[in-house]
């Protein structure tokens, strides 16, 4: 279940994020999430919705943050479907 107060986290590359991301999302790329998530989201009980292009990278990111003690990490799947589900626009890009 998606939480209304959850922090959206985009785990895609810098280029993908710049090309379009869900409004209000944090950018924490998969290859750095283990280094940056604690600074960006210090409360480990804060609900997180992680997403990427298809859901594969965000699933890996969920496992990483769960191992770090984040107890409410959800794989939101792909950016397009999640944007529609949350009724939030994709911003950025051309």
Structural domain harbouring 50: 7-91
Q: Is residue 23 part of a domain?
A: yes
- The encoded tokens of residue 65 equal 């943050």
Could you tell me the CATH number of the domain that includes residue 25?
3.40.250.10
Q: Is residue 58 part of a domain?
A: yes
pTM > 0.85: yes or no: yes
Q: Is residue 48 part of a domain?
A: yes
Q: Is residue 1 part of a domain?
A: no
- Give me the tens of pLDDT residue by residue for the chain, a chain 94 residues long: 566 789 999 999 999 999 999 999 999 999 999 999 999 999 999 999 999 999 999 999 999 999 999 999 999 999 999 999 999 999 997 7
The values of phi and psi at residue 88, to 5°, are: -120, 135
Q: Is residue 2 part of a domain?
A: no
Q: Residue 6's CB: how many other CB atoms inside 10 A?
A: 17
Q: Which DSSP string corresponds to 10-22?
A: E-S-HHHHHH-EE
Number of domains in the chain: 1
Q: Is residue 25 part of a domain?
A: yes
Q: Is residue 34 part of a domain?
A: yes
> Which residues are tagged catalytic?
52
Q: Is residue 19 part of a domain?
A: yes
């Amino acid at each position: 279940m998606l939480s209304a107060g959850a922090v959206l986290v985009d785990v895609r590359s810098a280029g993908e994020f710049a090309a379009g991301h869900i409004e209000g999302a944090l950018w924490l790329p998969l290859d750095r999430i283990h280094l940056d998530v604690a600074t960006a989201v210090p409360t480990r009980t804060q609900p997180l919705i992680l997403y990427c292009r298809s859901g594969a990278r965000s699933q890996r990111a969920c496992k990483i943050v769960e191992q770090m003690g984040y107890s409410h990490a959800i794989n939101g799947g792909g950016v397009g479907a999640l944007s529609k589900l949350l009724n939030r626009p994709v911003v950025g890009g051309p």
